[in-house]
Amino acid sequence: MACCQALVITALVMGIAFHSALVEATIAKSMYFNWGAHHSSILGNGDDLRLVLDQTSGSGIKSKRAFLFGSLEMLIKLVPGNSAGTVTAYYLSSTGTKHDEIDFEFLGNSTGEPYTVHTNIYTQGQGNREQQFRLWFDPTSDYHNYTIHWNPSQVVWYVDSVPIRVFRNYQSEGIAYPNQQGMRVYSSLWNADNWATRGGLVKIDWTSSPFVANYRRFRARACKWNGAVSVGLCALPTPGNWWMSPVYKQLSNGQQGQLKWVRDNYMIYNYCSDFKRFNGQMPPECSKPQF
C-alpha cells in the first residue's frame, strides 16, 4: 500500500510539474494569426513578429493554448510617427459573455505626442476598470517588456519590470476575481479612431499607412490550462507553481515605491477617482487597498 501511495504521489507531482512547465517556444510555435495574416509576418528565427494595419485590415495573433496564473511577457516596439487612431493591444482573455480579461492597450497619437497606456480588467464579463498612463520613454524607438503577472492573490501590470498597476483578490468580500477560467494571450493592431485618440476627435491619417508594430520573444512562465481540473492544480503551492510563493502575494517595499512613482508622475486616469462617471456609487474594490 505504501508503495502504491508513493507511486501516486510521484505521478501527481510529475503531472503538476508538467502542467506548469515554462513555454519556451518561439512566437511561431506558440501563437498563430487569428486575423489579418495576409499582410503580417513572423520573421527570422520565428521569434520576431510584424503586425500591420492598413486600409484593408488590421491584424492579430492568438496563443495556441490557454493559461491560468503565471507571468506572460512580450517585447513590443510600438507604431512610430503619426499613430493617431490606432490601437496596439496585448491582453489575456477567456471567451463567452462571462469572460475574464486583462488588458494592455496602447493608444496612438499624433507625431510628437505621447502614447497612452490604457489598462483594464474584466471579471465575469464586467469591465469598466480603466486606468491610463503615459510612459517615461519613447515606446517606438526600441523594444520594451510588457508583462502581465497573475496569481490567486493579485494581478500586476509591469512595464520593463516596473509595476504600474495592481488588482488584488477580494473575492471573499464579494468582488469578482479572475481565477476560474483559463485565458489565451492575444495581440492586435487595429483601427480604433472612433475613440482612441482624444476621444475619437483625431482620426487615422491613412497617408501614413501602413502602420507597423513589432514584437519579439513572447514567454509564458505560466500554468497550462487543461480544463476545470486546472483551477485546483494551478493554485497548489508546489515548486513548479512558482507564482504561488509567498514572495508573489504582494509587492515588495521597493516595488511599491516604483508603483507610487509611476502613479504620482504618469497616471492620467483612474476609474476609482471618477465619481461623476459612477454617480458616486463607486465600484467596491475602489475602497480596498490594492498594494
Active site (annotated) includes residue 113: no
- Can you name the residues that pair with 156 across neighbouring β-strands? 149, 166
Whole-angstrom distance, CA of residue 104 vs CA of residue 117: 7
For residue 210, whether the previous peptide bond is cis, meaning omega lies within 30 degrees of 0, is yes
Q: 105 and 44 in contact (C-beta within 8 Å)?
A: no
Q: 89 and 108 in contact (C-beta within 8 Å)?
A: no
Residue with cell 493554485: 235
Residue 108 is given by DSSP the state -
What values do phi and psi take at 53, rounded to 5?
A: -125, 125
Among residues 101, 113, 130, 285, which one is catalytic? Answer: 101
Cell of 14: 510529475
Among residues 24, 73, 105, 173, which one is catalytic? Answer: 105
* 264: helix, strand or coil: helix
Q: 196 and 85 in contact (C-beta within 8 Å)?
A: yes
Return the number of other C-beta atoms located less than 10 Å from residue 69's C-beta: 27
* 214: helix, strand or coil: strand
Cell of 229: 481540473
Whole-angstrom distance, CA of residue 109 vs CA of residue 116: 8
Residue 131 CB partners (closer than 8 Å, separation 6+):
119, 120, 165, 267, 269, 270, 271
State the catalytic residues: 101, 105
